[in-house]
Amino acid sequence: MISHIVAGGPENEIPDLVTHASNEEQWIGVDRGALYLLNRGITPTAAVGDFDSVSREEWLRISEAVPDHVQFPSEKNETDLEIALSKAVVHQPEAIYIYGATGGRLDHFFGAVTLLLKAELPCPVYIVDKQNEISVHFPGTTEIVQDEALPFVSFFAAGEKVEGLTLEGFKYPLADYTVQQGSSRCVSNELLEKKGVFSFRSGILMMIRSRDGRRSR
């Protein structure tokens, strides 16, 4: 099962979701994200948040359409998105995709990115919008598949440094390279083949797959 979390960021940054909708998918609406899902004909599996960004009429629509809905107080220790992520993890999904987390307030966006760094996450988690896909990786070897919609692949050290980064099948290959925090050495690479492999032995690696704004997705 795949879990999809839709947060309440600008709706125009959210890609097409209907193509992913099925009985095998889990959908969690976060605050106004629950309304975004209903507007696209997808009934959320659950809705969570303080719902301070919806009107009373919109909240009634959400609460009536989504049996599993929980309204939290505005003043709390976790963000609405973190609560949703914890709820998704309970169902042991194969992967979690987060939408509606970009394009708005930078503190909300950065908070979403830091959630990817939680070491206890049991599956891959991605932040996705119309132009980008962000993921975090831990030491080991990972195979990625060429995606014409997201041709550019960039890597960053999410901690102090990433040691032993090796890129195979890329336009700009690397072998046993140390990526220091703040380095732009690994920005805007591309896959030359259908598949590529990246590996490293220590640190936390952030990967961003992107496209230019002129291309459609």
Q: Could you state, in order of their start, the residue ranges of all structural domains in the chain?
A: 2-130, 136-210
Token pair in block for residue 117? 């760094």
Q: What is the pLDDT of residues 10-50, one digit of tens each?
A: 999 999 887 766 667 899 999 999 999 999 999 999 999 99
Q: Which amino acid is at 48?
A: V
- Between CA 16 and CA 57, with CA 37 as vertex, the angle to 5 degrees is 145
* 2-130 under CATH 3.30.9.100, yes or no: no
Q: How far apart are CA 28 and CA 37, in angstroms?
A: 9
Its pTM stands at 0.89
Position 164, amino acid: G
Fold agreement (2-130, 136-210): yes
Closest of 44, 19, 15 to residue 103, by C-alpha: 15
**Which segments within the chain are labelled E, that is strand?**
2-6, 25-30, 46-49, 69-71, 95-99, 125-128, 132-137, 140-145, 152-157, 161-168, 174-180, 189-190, 195-200, 205-210
> pLDDT tens digits for 147-196?
999 999 999 999 899 999 999 999 999 999 999 999 999 999 999 989 99
Class of domain 136-210: alpha beta
